[in-house]
């Protein structure tokens, strides 16, 4: 086995054996799955947890006194414990279980931001954000007569911190930043931004969707007010996610969705609501999905982020070096601190044509705007190609991807 792909701490082949889908072929070619920023593949431990839930424990949460109901509730609440541990939340009650970052951001927008916004106020975000960290703010800002402003980034794809700080004016009622860019891989200096926000009394929302699959997150050390994550990018099923928020914020937030599970008492003369986090969890959640979340977190914990990061860093360095050898290829986003996400353009070839041809070679990459129109506008391009790697990828896959890229580019000439 290639020494680069196997270290005593991290045996990538053993890890890959846990991911059934990685063994399949696509168009007759071995799959090279480099679309991990879009959604990750799932280890058998997660698949089995979901399967076990439906085979052995399926019932609704909280409403039943029977044993299955208790087991389903334990699975659901167990995920809250696992998530709290995963991001070092001070209390499990500060974790609202959601369907993903999109729901988490909308909850903050409607329940936290909207009641605080006055005409003339602003929400500050950055040019590199995913639409999920722009559009919810625009919708509530428009309702309140407020605006959404964007802090600029540099050509290398780094947030210009002084410009962000300069925009933290008294009109700003909420600041919102991605921990890691889904397009550029840039890691934003959240701890430093949180300190600046705190000094001015401005709450900070962090979109952690692309950070939690790659690095240990400690919300207390970061010092932010809100941290959103999405399960399906971190080995867990789709339709799972969480919002961590400081207790004082959750206590002050009115419910966003109404229905079962989120009330204390319902009367036509007036309904009282449950305490957080249940106040924000109306209806039947994705219970089996959350059983998968616990399994996903256990999987990360069994590998350890030190080993994951060493391997991913080596992969990123290798992929970056190999892509730099490709004539006419430009990497978009060259921040000093990056997670293994590489956007790029190739002179004379459309990103979508390249991605379509790469698929025929078994290589799954994403082409398009990556739900980041303002970032595309900044770079003056309609789309990029994006290779996003995970700890179960290998150096050999990077080489196969580059070989396929050279082949399909020749076809387009
Ligand atoms: N933020 C970022 C940075 C993302 O990459 C994504 C998913 N592409 C989201 C938010 C939205 O996540 P979800 O669709 O799971 O809610």
Burial of 348 (0-12, 13-18, 19+ CB in 10 A): exposed
For residue 206, the CA-to-ligand 1 centroid distance in Å is 12
> Which ligand 1 atom sits closest to the C-alpha of 104?
16
Nearest C-alpha neighbor of 412 from the set 353, 363, 361? 353
Q: Which mutation among 35, 98, 130 tests ligand 1's pocket best, with the greatest number of atoms within 8 A of CB?
A: 130
| DSSP 8-state assignment for residue 390 | -
> Once rounded to an integer, what is the mean pLDDT over residues 135-160?
98
The pLDDT of residue 63: 72
Measure Cα distances from 120 to 114, 126, 145, 162, 169 in Å: 13, 19, 6, 23, 12
**Is residue 228 helix, strand or coil?**
strand
The DSSP secondary structure of 263-310, one letter per residue, reads EEE--TT--EEPPTTGGG--S---HHHHHHHHHHHHHHHHH-HHHHHH
Query: Could you list the active site residues?
Result: 371
Could you read off the pLDDT of 340-352 as tens digits, one per residue? Answer: 999 999 999 999 9
> Which ligand 1 atom sits closest to the C-alpha of 99?
16
Class of domain 47-301: alpha beta
Could you read off the pLDDT of 91-103 as tens digits, one per residue? Answer: 999 999 999 999 9
Q: Which mutation among 209, 237, 372, 388 tests ligand 1's pocket best, with the greatest number of atoms within 8 A of CB?
A: 209
Please give all residues whose beta carbon lies within 6 A of any atom in ligand 1, as ranges.
Answer: 100-102, 130, 132-133, 178, 182, 207, 209-210, 230, 232, 371
> Which ligand 1 atom sits closest to the C-alpha of 230?
15
169: left (phi over 0), alpha (psi -120 to 50) or beta: beta
For residue 130, the CA-to-ligand 1 centroid distance in Å is 7
Measure Cα distances from 77 to 81, 92, 109, 275, 287 in Å: 7, 9, 25, 15, 9
> Which ligand 1 atom sits closest to the C-alpha of 180?
3
Task: Count the Cβ atoms, other than its own, within 10 Å of residue 143.
Answer: 13
Alpha carbons 277 and 92: distance in angstroms, whole number: 9
> Once rounded to an integer, what is the mean pLDDT over residues 47-54?
98
Nearest C-alpha neighbor of 372 from the set 174, 132, 106, 34? 132
**250 pLDDT higher than 90:** yes
Mean pLDDT over the full length of the chain:
96
Could you read off the pLDDT of 54-108 as tens digits, one per residue? Answer: 999 999 997 778 999 999 999 999 999 999 999 999 999 999 999 999 999 999 9
Alpha carbons 207 and 151: distance in angstroms, whole number: 16
> Which ligand 1 atom sits closest to the C-alpha of 129?
3
Which residue's CA is the nearest one to ligand 1's atom 14?
A: 102
Which residue's CA is the nearest one to ligand 1's atom 12?
A: 101
Domain residue ranges in the chain = 12-42+304-411, 47-301
CATH, domain range 12-42+304-411: 3.90.1150.10
> Once rounded to an integer, what is the mean pLDDT over residues 369-386?
96
Q: Which mutation among 230, 233, 239, 369 tests ligand 1's pocket best, with the greatest number of atoms within 8 A of CB?
A: 230
Could you read off the pLDDT of 294-327 as tens digits, one per residue? Answer: 999 999 999 999 999 999 999 999 999 999 999 9
Alpha carbons 368 and 350: distance in angstroms, whole number: 10
For residue 172, the CA-to-ligand 1 centroid distance in Å is 24
The pLDDT of residue 2: 43
The pLDDT of residue 62: 75
Question: How much is the pTM?
Answer: 0.97
Among the listed ranges 100-109, 252-261, 396-405, which one has the minimum average pLDDT value?
252-261
The pLDDT of residue 411: 86
Nearest C-alpha neighbor of 385 from the set 330, 305, 304, 320? 330
Output the six-digit token pair for 207: 């979109």
The pLDDT of residue 8: 56
Alpha carbons 95 and 385: distance in angstroms, whole number: 35
> Once rounded to an integer, what is the mean pLDDT over residues 166-189?
98
Q: For residue 261, what pLDDT band results from cuts at 50, 70 and 90?
A: confident
For residue 230, the CA-to-ligand 1 centroid distance in Å is 7
**3 pLDDT higher than 50:** no
**1 pLDDT higher than 50:** no
| DSSP 8-state assignment for residue 255 | P
């Amino acid at each position: 086995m290639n020494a680069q792909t196997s270290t005593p701490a991290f045996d990538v082949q053993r890890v890959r054996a846990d991911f059934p889908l990685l063994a399949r072929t696509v168009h007759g070619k071995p799959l090279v799955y480099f679309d991990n920023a879009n959604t990750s593949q799932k280890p058998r431990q997660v698949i089995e947890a979901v399967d076990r839930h439906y085979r052995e424990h399926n019932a609704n949460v909280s409403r039943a006194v029977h044993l299955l109901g208790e087991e389903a509730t334990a699975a659901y609440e167990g995920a809250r414990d696992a998530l709290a541990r995963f991001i070092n939340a001070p209390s499990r009650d500060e974790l609202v279980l959601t369907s993903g970052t999109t729901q988490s951001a909308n909850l903050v927008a409607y329940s936290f931001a909207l009641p605080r916004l006055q005409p003339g106020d602003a929400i500050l975000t950055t040019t590199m954000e995913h639409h999920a960290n722009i559009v919810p703010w625009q919708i509530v800002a428009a309702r309140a007569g407020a605006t959404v402003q964007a802090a600029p980034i540099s050509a290398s794809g780094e947030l210009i911190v002084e410009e962000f700080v300069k925009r933290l004016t008294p009109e700003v009622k909420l600041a919102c930043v991605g921990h890691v860019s889904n397009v550029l891989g840039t890691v934003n200096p959240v701890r430093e931004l949180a300190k600046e926000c705190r000094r001015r009394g401005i709450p900070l929302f962090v979109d952690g969707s692309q950070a939690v699959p790659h690095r240990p997150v400690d919300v207390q050390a970061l010092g932010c007010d809100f941290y959103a994550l999405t399960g399906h990018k971190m080995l867990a099923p789709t339709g799972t996610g969480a919002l961590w928020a400081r207790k004082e914020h959750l206590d002050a937030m009115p419910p966003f969705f109404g229905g079962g599970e989120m009330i204390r008492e319902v009367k036509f003369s007036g309904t009282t609501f449950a305490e957080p986090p249940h106040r924000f969890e109306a209806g039947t959640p994705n219970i089996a999905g959350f059983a998968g979340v616990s399994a996903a977190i256990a999987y990360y914990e069994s590998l350890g982020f030190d080993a994951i990061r060493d391997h991913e860093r080596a992969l990123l360095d290798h992929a970056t070096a190999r892509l730099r050898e490709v004539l006419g290829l430009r990497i978009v986003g060259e921040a000093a601190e990056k997670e293994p996400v590489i956007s790029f353009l190739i002179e004379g070839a459309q990103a979508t044509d390249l991605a379509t041809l790469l698929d025929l070679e078994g290589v799954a990459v994403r082409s398009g705007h990556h739900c980041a129109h303002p970032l595309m506008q900044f770079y003056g391009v309609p789309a990029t190609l994006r290779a996003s790697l995970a700890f179960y990828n290998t150096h050999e896959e990077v080489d196969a991807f580059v070989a396929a890229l050279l082949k399909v580019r020749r076809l387009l000439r």
